[in-house]
Structure 1
Amino acid sequence: MEKAKIHHIPFKLSGPAIEKNTKLTFKAEDKNGIWNIEDIKGKKVISLFPAINTKICDMQTQQIAKLAQEHKNVTFISISTDSVKKQEEWCAAKGLENVLIVSDDKYKEFQTKTNAYIPRINKLTRGFILLDKENIIQEISLNIELSKEPNYTLLDKWIK
Structure 2
Amino acid sequence: MKITFQGNPLTLLDKQVAVGEKAPYFTAVNLDLSDYKYESSDKIKVISVVPSLDTPVCSLQTTKFNMSLEELEGVEIITVSTDLPFAQARFCQEEDVKNLTVVSDYKYKDFSKKYGCLIEELQILTRAVFVVDKDNTVKYVDYLEEITNEPNYEKALEVVKSL
What's the TM-score bracket when you normalise by the shorter of the two chains? over 0.9
Tell me if structure 2 keeps the 8 A contact 1:91–1:99.
Answer: no
Instruction: State the distance in 2 between where 1:55 and 1:128 align.
Output: 17
**2:25 corresponds to 1:29:** no
Show the counterpart of 1:76. 77
Q: Which moved more, 1:93-102 or 1:72-81?
A: 93-102
Paired letter, 2:48: S
Instruction: State the distance in 2 between where 1:98 and 1:138 align.
Output: 22
Residue 96 of structure 1: how far off its partner (Å): 2.0
Show the counterpart of 1:91. 92
Residue 97 of structure 1: how far off its partner (Å): 2.6
Paired letter, 1:59: L
Show the counterpart of 1:15. 14
Paired letter, 1:15: D
Instruction: State the distance in 2 between where 1:20 and 1:39 align.
Output: 17
Residue 117 of structure 1: how far off its partner (Å): 1.4
Which secondary structure state, in structure 2, belongs to the residue aligned with residue 87 of structure 1? helix
Paired letter, 1:28: A
Residue 90 of structure 1: how far off its partner (Å): 0.6
Stretches of structure 1 that go unaligned for 5 or more consecutive residues are: none
Q: CA deviation digits over 1:62-100, x for unaligned, max 9? A: 001011111122111110111111100111111223331
Q: How many pairs does the alignment contain?
A: 159
Aligned residues with identical type, % of pairs? 29
Tell me if structure 1 keeps the 8 A contact 2:14–2:114.
Answer: no
Residue 119 of structure 1: how far off its partner (Å): 1.8
Paired letter, 1:21: G
- What TM-score, normalized to structure 1? 0.93
1:102-117 to 2 correspondence within 5 Å?
A: 102-117=103-118
Detail structure 1 runs of 4+ shifted over 4 Å in the superposition: none
Aligned-residue Cα RMSD (Å) equals 1.4
Stretches of structure 2 that go unaligned for 5 or more consecutive residues are: none
Tell me if structure 1 keeps the 8 A contact 2:14–2:113.
Answer: no
- What TM-score, normalized to structure 2? 0.92
